[in-house]
Structure 1
Amino acid sequence: MKKIKMKIVTLGLSLILVAGSLFSPVSVSARTMGDPSNQIDGKLSTFYQGDIGDCGAVSGIQALANSKYGRSLLRTMITVNGDDSYTVNFKSGIQSVSQTDVDNAGITGDLDARVIEAGLQNAMNVYNGCFACDVFTTITGFKQSQVRGATSKTNLMNTMASKCASGDGITAACDFTIADPDKGILGNGEHSYSIQSVTKDTVVVINPWDTSELISMSRSEFESSIRYMTYVDNTAKKVVVFWA
């Protein structure tokens, strides 16, 4: 009789444990695993700028994915709260972001990117336009250092090329004075692009309209057509801003 009672008790406990596992709350990441448009995973997949003039913010966000330093920031940037809100851990100051803020973000696609942009909007009103350098300052907390002239341009390009060659990558962005419609490059400083890579011969930029598409051009074409570029120097802890 005791053995039968013990079996019944054991069976009852097993059923309780199974039921508990079936009806316990599931974390956001587990519930949305595999879909980056609904999953906070500490990295960036493809996202798309919308109709508002937030290209400086979108290119600045995408640029984080292009360097080891930027990716390290992404891994700890967003905290998911129990009330479906988010805490965005910018180095210049923490921002609270509601689900409504995220739903109203100007970009579509990757959820991490949308939450970060919502945090940037709360911090600096990026939907009314901004420069990527100011986005970098908000995210990193680094002060800006402005440079001009041919020598400064060459030095900055060589620094970025060296970082790319080492495997560290770069967190950088730019806009252009001279348009190249065949490549999707707008001129007159009308649109911001992230800089994915620089070599001694070639530069690859990314248009925030679709961050999965790469635009390659010769380094000489890039250097002769840019109006401005900005680069996060995490070693010196500054955001370098070059104006042509």
Structure 2
Amino acid sequence: MVSRLTTIGFDADDTLWQNESFYRLTQERFAGLLRDYADRDTLEARLLAAERRNLGHYGFGIKGFMLSMIETAIEVTEGRVPAPVIGEILSAGQEMLRHPIELLPHAAEVVAELAGSYRLVLITKGDLLDQERKLAQSGLGDLFDAVEIVSDKSRATYEGAFARHGDGADRAMMVGNSMKSDVRPALEAGAWGVFVPHGLTWVVEHAAPPDGHARFRELPDLGPLPALVAELAR
């Protein structure tokens, strides 16, 4: 017998609102600042390596990104990066932290529709203050029964979140744009995993789809989610 669906988890960045596009714009600015020291491809590769290396130290989010840009600037200039360039990097990061929220299509109406019938849990990675700011600006905060801002997402993350805020993972669904963080570990926990792709998903979040998994679904955007939820909750 299939357990009835009672709880829906949502990722935030690039699932409910735009995020990666702002990182890409900042990387363009970063490349312009350092064009005299490294070509774009080399700089992007060095920055990505720094970000991967630093995830364990700084976690996910804008502040870690800023520090990785500064580290990369020091590396590619062999320690000769001009102080104004460091200042511009800090300024770019601060602008990202102030950027207004841009909700993705259908996010507001879908969350509002589901909130009346299911327990909704926001499960997102990133800096605590920044994620709280974005949720407050989104206008969606009051629709969620719980919010979990975590350092990373794993099977244990979903097992714990859905036990605390629902009826366990087997009666829950996780919706997100990251196959690596939102879908695969949720499926491992026993939940439904719904992949809603975003064209600019960070390469670190890429993973192979769980082809053939009975609880895996993919949607083109959030629009069809209520119908899918209704079907699975029968």
What's the TM-score, normalizing by structure 1?
A: 0.27
Task: Compare CA radii of gyration and give the structure with the larger one.
Answer: 1
Larger % of helix: which?
Answer: 2
